[in-house]
Amino acid sequence: MLVIRPIKETDYPALLQMAVGSGIGFTSLPVDEPLLREKLAHSIRSFASDIDHPGDLHYLMVAEDTETGEVVGTSAIDAAVGMASPFYTYHLGKVVHASRSLNVYNVVETLTLTNDYTGVTELCTLFLQESHRQGQNGRLLSKCRFLLMAEHPQRFNDSVIAEMRGVSDEQGRSPFWQWLQDNFFSVDFPTADYLTGVGKKEFIAELMPKYPIYVNLLSKEAQAVIGEVHEKTRPALRLLEAEGFCKHGYVDIFDAGPTVECPLKLIESVKHSFKVTVHIGQPSDAAEEMLLTNARLQEFRACVSQIELDSKKCHAVISKEAAKALEVTDGEQIRIGALRFEQ
């Protein structure tokens, strides 16, 4: 069984290993020891904080295999982006060039650099080792964040976003960035991606075009990937779309991957999750497999297990294994949610 829990100091070697394995384009998990240690420490401070509003807080969690004790995945939430350093995105808009006298009417797409998402909550740092990409593990790692937000909504913004990884090849070359590199930056994609990941974003303000970019001036290769996701990111996008997330014309400034967003209260797993009082026993064979989380923050735990609900959905039976994973006792309340929502 996999259990999701807040990261702790002793998880650093596993976090570093995942940073290496995540590859180029995974900006939120750069291979940089000081930064990774600060992310870890920031998360520990965030989970321990006593606040009732969103702030510059970072909730970093890991997936632990209860059989081996191995940390095999990570998932995170930034409560309010852009508070400590600028959060840049491109907005895809339109301008019209028209002349009645010449009977000309042209609609041209543009990319404008913005900080429009400053202060919103971001889902980030989702990574699962290939050895455990099976069953419901990926859904658990992603969706547990929604139940954490449902239980502690005061800690998060009313709007939630997720930046999806854009198109790049195995060598880390991005068609979109290649055009920017050739015309403005003279820095390759892996370098720009790394600098952003370690917080050195000054070069963006210094070198990024100050005026909207006309999309039709980009290379055909660059135009083709605007708003498209990396092939390995498609399952994550489908899962978020099923939760109610959709595109609103914002893309990443490096690889042009789409940003998807949804109001917190309209996320399917937030809307439909609910709390029940648990009794530890043996659920029947017909019991449904669901996402289970305890109702805590600093000792947050989540897992997937069978749960047998009563007719009023007020009480439920869970196994000893699930109770141990969640660190709950008989008579305690937990929050539960569905693993799938039909689109």
Backbone phi, psi, residue 111, to 5°: -115, 120
Catalytic position from the list 58, 152, 230, 248? 230
Q: Which residues contact 75 (CB under 8 A, 6 or more apart)?
A: 4, 60, 61, 62, 63, 125, 126, 127, 141, 142, 144, 145
Q: Which residues contact 127 (CB under 8 A, 6 or more apart)?
A: 18, 21, 22, 26, 29, 73, 74, 75
Q: Is 230 a catalytic residue?
A: yes
Tokens of 66: 């209860």
Q: Angle CA(187)–CA(189)–CA(194) in degrees, nearest 5?
A: 95
CB 252 within 8 A of CB 89: yes
Backbone phi, psi, residue 215, to 5°: -60, -35
Q: How far apart are CA 288 and CA 286, in angstroms?
A: 6
Helices and strands in the chain: count of H runs, count of E runs:
10, 15
What are the start-end ranges of the E strands in 120-181? Answer: 121-128, 159-163
Backbone phi, psi, residue 250, to 5°: -105, 140
Show which residues are catalytic. Answer: 230
